[in-house]
Structure formats: structure tokens, C-alpha cells
Amino acid sequence: MNLDNDTVNTEQPLAPTSGPPPPTSGPPPPPNGGLVAWLQVAAGFVLFFNTWGLISAFGVFQTYYESGELFKTTSTNISWIGSIQSFLLQLAGLIAGPVYDRGYLRLLLVTGSFMIVFGMMMLSLCTEYWQALLAQAFCVGIGAGLLFVPTVSLLPTYFNTHLGLAVGIASSGSSLGGVIYPIVLYRLIGQIGFPWAVRCVAFIALATFIVPLAVMRIRVRVPKPRAVVDWSAFRDAPFVTFMLAVLIIFIAQCVLLFYISFYSVNRGFTNESLGFYMTAIFNAGSVLGRILPNALSDRIGVFNTMAPLTVIYGVVVLCLLAVHNAAGMVVEGIVTGFFSGMVIALPPVCFRVLTKNPSMIGTRMGQGFAISGLGLLLGGPSTGAVLGTGESLNWTGVWLYGGVCGCVAGLIIVCVRIMRAGFALNIKV
């Protein structure tokens, strides 16, 4: 009988075992928290601090260069320094994105950090316009570009449900940098001169770069190298349309970033001291503008968040036409700063949502920011051309230009939202 029972038992299906499940293909899901994940956010905070944060301080450089103490040239020529610097931050993503996808994060961190510190040190030695152009625009701009795209490409591999909040916290580093660096420059230029003030900025960057070099780690590695350019992106209508929107909103961003400080001094609304601090006030206002819209986007959708905020951004820029005193300038600096915060913080999340293949994040973000970065290249000089030269500057044209660009960009993002989800308002997208 035992033999019969054994025979019956061997013919029955095997019971499921309690061992580990068979391995599945592809990387595991993002941890959405934990010490390692939040360390990446902290490292991203530092990189934003020394890339967008340093570039956000260009209003101080613009105002100082306008004084003619270092060299004499037109407002348009001066704005080329900031525009090229900002554009190269985006354009370098064409190189940094594919390099990151191939696993060379450490190389990008070391090279980018060195170029920023070296560029600022060389700027401290400059006495001519072309020298400042090479050091500040090209060297610092390329270095920042090697760091920016890897930062916004790395965070989506550690977060998905809290991605907006994580990117928002990291990008708030640019706001802090935009507060600290202008104050450091203004306070030190009068005490120790422009060369040593710029060297102090370089030393701050050098010290803080230790954090990302120590903690940043690639979590998802691409199994095999891919093409440097994802040509399918140019056949993706929502992706291409969103690039156009970001290009236009970057023009509006340059209008504020480069000229809000010079405007208050030139029109006599503030004294020179408060005029220099306007850049810091503007960037202080953007701290919450980096975090709150991104946290909201996790709940209602990133395009549902960015579209209306961009339109409002254009409207508050137009409100500068009604400002005629120091109190109004401070209020406008805070309000425009808040809404400008999402210009840096939300597009990386949008590009991530528009990228169906997670392994193409670096390449797609590099392409997206490189093309939309043309707005940063055109924004400063075109605003300088609108402003004009001489005793009577066309400030009305400047704020109309920036405000209309913001409103148009917001309407284009509404079109992207409709492409993704139609006209239904209750869809998270």
C-alpha cells in the first residue's frame, strides 16, 4: 500500500516552494526613499547650487560690468556672457547625457567640477571683455552642462512616486546659490575687490563639490551603448512641442535674471546696494517655487501644474510695468522669483514623463535641454537689443517681451497637455 501511495504522490503536481521567485529582466523598481536615495538628492542640491545657482547670480555680474570698472562695452555684449554660459549648460547635455548613459558619472563629476572652479579662477584674472567671455561663458558654462543633465537623469532612477518632490528639493539648491553668491560678490567686491571676490566664489564651489563626488552613484546601468542622438524624439509631437515651450520660457527667464537688478538701479527705484540685492531677493523667492509646484505635480500631474503656472509667470512679469518704487520692486522680485522657480524644477520631470523608455532618460534629456537651451542663448542679447542704448532705455519693451514670452509658453504647454490627455480636466498628466 505504501508503494501505491508513493506512486500516487509522484503523479500529483508539485506544491509551490517558498524559495525566491525566478529572476525577472530589467532593473528593480526605484526605492522611492532610503538613505542612499536621499543622499542623491543632497548631492543634486549641491550641483544645482553650483550650476544654475552660479548662473542665477549673473544679474550681479551684469550690473557690475555695466559700471565699466572692469571693461567697457554695451549691455547686449555683456548679456552675451550670461546667455552663452546658460546655453552651454544646456548644450553640453548632448555630450553629458550619452556619457552618463554609458556609466561614466564620476568622469562627468570630476571634469565639470574642475571646469567651474578653473573658469572662476581665470575670471578673477580678467581685465578685458573677451577674457571674461572665455572664462565665464565658455569654461564655466561647459562645466555646468557636464553636471546638470546627469543630475536630473540620476534622480528618476531612485524615485518615481516622489520624483517631483525629489527634483524640486534638489533644484532648490539653485535658489540658495542664487541668494548666497550675489551677496558674497556684492559684499566682497567693495571690501577686497572683484578678483578676490570671484576667487572666494571659486573656493566655495570647490569645497561643496566634495559632497556629490563622495555620494553620487549610478543605480541603473545600460546593458549596451546606444546612439548619441535618439532620432525618434523628433517624431514625438508632444516631446518636440514641449521643447519649443521650454525654449520660449527660457527667453522670459533671461529677461528677469539678467535685468531685474539693473532695472531697479537704472530707473532710480532703489539705491545701488538694494539693486545688487534684487538678484538675491529674486532667487530667494524661487526657493519655494522650486519645491511646492513639484510637490503639487506629484498629486495632480506635472503638466496640470506647469501649464497654468507658466501663464501666471508671464502675467507677473507684465506687472513690472506698474512698479514705480522700491517696495514694488521687492514684492515683484519675490513673486516673479516664486513663479520662475518652476522654470528650472519642472521641465526635467516633464521630459521624464515624455520619455517612454527609462533607459533613454539621459539621451532624451540631453537633447531636450540642448535644443530648448537656444532660448537661453537668444534671451539675453535679444532683450539687450529691445532695451537699446543711450539715455532713454526701452524698459517697457523689455517687460512686454518677457511677459508675452511667458504667456505664450504657457499656452503651448496647454497644447502638450491636450496631446497627452485630451480636454478632460480630471486626468492626472
Does residue 85 form part of some domain? Answer: yes
Does residue 13 form part of some domain? Answer: no
Instruction: Please give the model's pTM, rounded to 2 decimal places.
Output: 0.79
Q: How many CB atoms lie within 10 A of CB 241?
A: 15
pLDDT at 321: 92
The mean per-residue pLDDT over the stretch 372-395 comes to 85
Task: Write out the E strands in 49-131.
Answer: none
Does residue 185 form part of some domain? Answer: yes
CATH number of the domain that residue 312 is part of: 1.20.1250.20
Q: Helix (H, G, I), strand (E, B), or coil: what is residue 92?
A: coil
**CB-side neighbour CA atoms (13 Å) of 25:** 2
AA identity, residue 351: F
Does residue 14 form part of some domain? Answer: no
Matching residue, cell 537656444:
374
Report the candidate in 241, 266, 204 with the shortest Cα–Cα distance to residue 63.
266
Cα dist. 266→129, 324, 388, 391 in Å? Answer: 22, 12, 13, 10
Does residue 23 form part of some domain? Answer: no
pLDDT at 317: 94
What is the b/e burial string over 148-178, where b = at least 16 CB atoms within 10 angstroms of the residue's CB? bbbbbbbbbbbbeebbbbbbbbbbbbbbbbb
pLDDT above 70 (res 365): yes
pLDDT above 90 (res 343): no
Question: Could you tell me if 61 and 226 are in contact, meaning their C-beta atoms sit under 8 angstroms apart?
Answer: no
Does residue 175 form part of some domain? Answer: yes
**How do residues 144-160 score in pLDDT, each as one tens digit?**
999 987 788 888 888 88
Does residue 20 form part of some domain? Answer: no
pLDDT band at 93 (very low <50, low <70, confident <90, very high): confident
The mean per-residue pLDDT over the stretch 265-292 comes to 85
**How do residues 198-250 score in pLDDT, each as one tens digit?**
999 999 999 999 999 999 988 877 666 566 778 888 899 999 999 999 999 99
Within 326-394, residue ranges assigned H as helices are: 326-353, 361-372, 374-387
* Residues whose CB is less than 8 angstroms from the CB of residue 342 and which lie 6 or more positions away in sequence, other chains included: 289, 290, 293, 294, 305, 306, 309, 310, 313
Does residue 295 form part of some domain? Answer: yes
Q: Which domain holds residue 330?
A: 33-421
- Gap between the Cα atoms of 180 and 201, Å rounded: 10
pLDDT above 70 (res 364): yes
Split into its structural domains, the chain has a count of: 1
